[in-house]
C-alpha cells in the first residue's frame, strides 16, 4: 500500500540526526572562529599592547569605539555563546525537531531556525551586562590594582550561586529537555521563538555565575572558555551533573576564600 | 508525504496520585510509579486528508519507578482506538498517538516508550459540564469530576503538556479502574484526575 511505504520511508529517515549535526557544525564553526581569532576585535587595532584575553580588555576596547565597537563586542560574545552553549543543548534541539515530523521541510526549517536563532540571540544580548558593568567600573583597571579581591570575590559569588536552590531550579529544566518540552511546547514559528526564549532564560539562570567569573578572568580567554564550556555541559548532561555543580560551588568557595586571604596578607 | 494534523475536543485522565498529581512538576509520583488511563473525544480533527471528528481514543500508561518525564524512565503503553473508526482513522490515530507523526507524542515515543500495544475497542465517552464518564470495553472504567476549591472555583493546572493552552482543570476520579492483558491492572478510584478541553498539533 502506498501510505505504508511512504510511512516506512519516514521512519528510516527520522534516524538521520540532521538537526543535531547542524547544531554541532555551527558550534564547531563558532569554536574555530574564536580559536583562530577570525573575529574582528571591537577596537579594530590588533597591534595594541593589550591582549584581548586579558580581563576587561575586550569590554574596554568595545566601549572606547562607540556603537560599532559595542556591536562587534556583542557579535563576538554571541559567537562565543554559540560555541559554548549549543553542544549541550542538542538533546532539546533534537527532541523539538521530532515534534515537527509531518510538517513540510520548509516549515520545519523555519521553526528549527527560529528556535536556534532565538536561543543564540537571547544569549548574545546577555553580553550587554559585562559591557554595562565595565562602563561603570573598568574591569581592567580593577584587575591591575585589586586583582586578588576581584578574582576572589567573583569566585565567592560563583560559589554562593552554585550552592543556591535557584541554580538547581534552572538546572532541572536544562537537564530534562523532555520535561521542558512537555511543559513548554507551543506550535508554530512564534511558538518556537517563545519556547526557545524561555529555555534560554532557564539556561542563563543556570550558567550566569560561571560567565560572570569568565568575564573577570577575561571573556576572550580560550582556556577558561573551554573549561567552563566543559563544566556546564557536564552539569547539564551526565547523571552526576548536580553533584558536579555542588563540587564546582565548593571548589570556587575554597579557592575564593584562599585568594581573598592571600591578597589581604 | 508530509501530513499536518490538528485535533481538539474533550479530555480526561485519572491516575493513582492524590489530588493533584505531581508529574507536571517533574516530581516523583505517589508510590513512585505512574499508572494512568487517558481518554480523548476528538470533536474536530484531521490528519492530512483524514477527518478525525467524532473519534474517541483511550490510552494506558504504566511506568517504571521514578519521575515520569526523567529520560531514564520507561513506559509501557496501550493505545485504545474506537471500534467505530474506519481504517484510515485508525491508522491516523496510531500515527499521532504513537509518535510517528510529530507533535508532543514524537519525543515521548523516542524517549520513553518501551512497549506499545494497540487494541480496537468500543468506547463510550460522555461529558456533562465538568463531569466525565468513559467506558472503554472491559479495559477502562473512568468517572471523574472537577475538584472545586475556594470560592466554589474549579482549580487550574498549568503547565500541562497535553493541550496547546497548557491549562487543564484539576479533578478527582470516583471510578478509575483498568484491566488489560494482566500487565495493566489497577484501581486508583478516588485519586487525581486532570480534565477539560484539549488541542494538539504537530506544526
Q: Is residue B162 part of a domain?
A: yes
Distance CA B165, CA B198 (A): 8
Percent of chain B at pLDDT exceeding 70: 100
Residue pair B102/A103 in contact by the 8 Å Cβ criterion: yes
Q: Say if B203 falls within a structural domain.
A: no
> Which of A213-217, A245-249, B13-17 ranks highest by mean pLDDT?
A245-249
Give the mean pLDDT of A9-36: 82
Please report, for residues A130, A172, A208, the alpha-carbon distance to residue A126 in angstroms, rounded to integers and kept in the order given: 8, 21, 9
B151 has a pLDDT exceeding 90: no
Q: For chain A, give the mean pLDDT.
A: 87
Q: Give the pLDDT band (50/70/90) at residue B180.
A: very high
Task: Domain count for chain B, please give it.
Answer: 1
- The residue of A9, A10, A108, A182 whose CB has the most chain B CBs within 10 angstroms, and thus the best one to mutate to test that interface, is A182
Top-confidence residue, A145 or A18? A18
- For residue A119, pLDDT over 50 is answered with yes
pLDDT-above-70 percentage for chain A? 90
Using the predicted structure, report yes or no on whether residue A43 has a pLDDT greater than 80.
no
Q: Which residues of B touch A238 (CB under 8 A)?
A: none
CA B66, CA B77: separation in Å to the nearest integer? 16
CB-based contact, A237 to chain B, within 8 Å: no
- Residue B185 inside a domain? The answer is yes
Domain enclosing residue B58, as ranges: 5-197
Residues 120-159 of B with CB under 8 A from A: 159
Closest CB from B24, B107, B160 relative to A98: B107
Span B147-165, average pLDDT = 89
Closest chain B residue to A109 measured between Cα atoms? B203
What is the C-alpha separation between B62 and A247, in angstroms, rounded? 36
Across the range A233-256, mean pLDDT stands at 94
pLDDT score of A6: 45
For residue range A167-204, what is the model confidence (pLDDT) as tens digits? 998 898 888 888 888 888 888 999 999 999 999 999 99
Nearest Cβ partner for A183 among B4, B24, B110 = B24
Q: B202 lies in a domain?
A: no
Asked whether the predicted pLDDT for residue A210 surpasses 50, the reply is: yes
- CA B52/CA B82 separation, integer angstroms: 11
Q: Å from A133 to nearest chain B CA? A: 36
The reply to whether residue A102 touches residue B104, judged by beta carbons under 8 angstroms, is no
Tens of pLDDT, residue by residue over B67-101, are 998 888 999 999 999 999 999 999 999 999 999 99
Q: Inter-chain contact A183–B108, Cβ cutoff 8 Å?
A: no
Q: Tell me if A103 and B69 make a contact (CB, 8 A cut-off).
A: no
d(CA B97, CA B93): 6
What pLDDT shows up at residue A9? 47
pLDDT, mean of residues B129-147: 96
Is B134 inside a domain boundary? Answer: yes
Q: Is B91 on the interface with A (CB under 8 A)?
A: yes
pLDDT of residue A44: 56
Q: What confidence tens digit (pLDDT) does each residue in A55-82 have?
A: 888 888 898 888 999 999 999 999 999 9
**How would residue A11 be classed by pLDDT, with cut points 50, 70 and 90?**
very low
Amino acid at each position: 500500500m502506498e501510505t505504508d511505504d511512504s510511512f516506512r520511508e519516514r521512519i528510516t529517515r527520522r534516524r538521520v540526526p540532521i538537526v543535531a549535526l547542524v547544531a554541532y557544525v555551527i558550534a564547531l564553526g563558532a569554536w574555530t572562529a574564536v580559536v583562530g581569532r577570525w573575529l574582528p576585535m571591537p577596537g579594530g587595532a590588533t597591534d595594541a599592547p593589550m591582549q584581548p584575553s586579558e580581563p576587561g580588555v575586550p569590554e574596554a576596547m568595545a566601549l572606547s569605539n562607540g556603537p560599532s565597537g559595542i556591536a562587534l563586542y556583542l557579535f563576538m560574545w554571541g559567537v562565543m555563546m554559540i560555541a559554548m552553549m549549543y553542544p549541550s543543548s542538542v538533546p532539546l534541539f533534537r527532541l523539538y525537531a521530532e515534534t515537527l515530523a509531518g510538517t513540510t521541510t520548509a516549515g520545519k526549517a523555519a521553526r528549527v531556525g527560529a528556535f536556534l536563532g532565538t536561543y543564540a540571540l537571547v544569549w548574545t544580548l546577555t553580553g550587554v551586562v559585562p559591557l554595562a558593568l565595565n562602563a561603570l567600573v573598568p574591569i581592567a583597571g580593577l584587575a591591575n590594582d585589586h586583582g586578588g579581591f576581584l578574582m576572589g570575590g567573583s569566585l565567592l559569588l560563583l560559589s554562593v550561586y552554585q550552592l543556591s536552590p535557584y541554580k538547581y531550579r534552572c538546572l532541572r529544566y536544562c537537564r530534562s529537555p523532555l520535561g521542558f518540552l512537555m511543559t513548554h511546547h507551543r506550535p508554530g514559528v512564534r511558538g518556537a521563538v517563545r519556547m526557545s526564549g524561555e529555555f534560554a532564560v532557564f539556561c542563563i539562570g543556570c550558567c550566569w555565575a560561571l560567565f560572570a567569573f569568565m568575564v573577570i578572568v577575561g571573556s576572550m580567554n580560550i582556556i577558561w572558555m573551554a573549561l567552563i564550556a566543559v563544566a556546564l555541559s557536564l552539569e547539564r548532561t551526565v547523571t552526576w551533573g548536580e553533584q558536579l555543580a555542588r563540587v564546582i560551588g565548593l571548589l570556587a568557595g575554597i579557592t575564593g576564600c584562599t585568594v581573598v586571604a592571600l591578597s589581604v596578607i | 508525504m508530509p501530513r499536518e494534523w490538528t485535533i481538539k475536543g474533550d479530555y480526561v485522565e485519572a491516575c493513582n496520585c492524590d489530588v493533584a498529581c505531581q508529574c507536571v512538576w517533574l516530581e516523583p509520583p505517589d508510590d513512585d510509579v505512574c499508572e494512568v488511563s487517558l481518554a480523548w473525544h476528538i470533536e474536530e480533527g484531521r490528519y492530512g486528508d483524514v477527518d478525525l471528528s467524532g473519534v474517541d481514543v483511550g490510552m494506558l500508561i504504566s511506568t517504571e519507578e521514578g519521575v515520569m518525564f526523567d529520560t531514564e524512565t520507561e513506559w509501557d503503553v496501550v493505545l485504545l482506538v474506537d471500534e467505530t473508526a474506519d481504517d484510515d482513522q485508525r491508522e491516523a490515530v496510531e500515527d499521532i498517538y504513537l509518535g510517528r507523526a510529530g507533535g508532543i507524542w514524537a519525543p515521548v515515543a523516542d524517549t520513553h516508550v518501551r512497549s506499545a500495544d494497540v487494541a480496537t475497542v468500543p468506547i463510550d465517552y460522555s461529558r456533562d459540564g465538568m463531569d466525565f464518564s468513559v467506558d472503554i470495553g472491559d479495559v477502562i472504567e473512568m468517572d471523574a469530576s472537577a475538584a472545586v476549591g475556594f470560592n466554589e472555583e474549579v482549580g487550574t493546572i498549568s503547565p500541562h503538556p497535553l493541550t496547546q493552552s497548557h491549562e487543564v482543570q484539576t479533578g478527582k476520579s470516583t471510578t478509575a479502574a483498568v484491566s488489560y492483558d494482566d500487565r495493566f491492572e489497577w484501581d486508583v478510584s478516588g485519586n487525581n484526575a486532570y480534565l477539560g478541553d484539549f488541542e494538539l498539533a504537530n506544526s
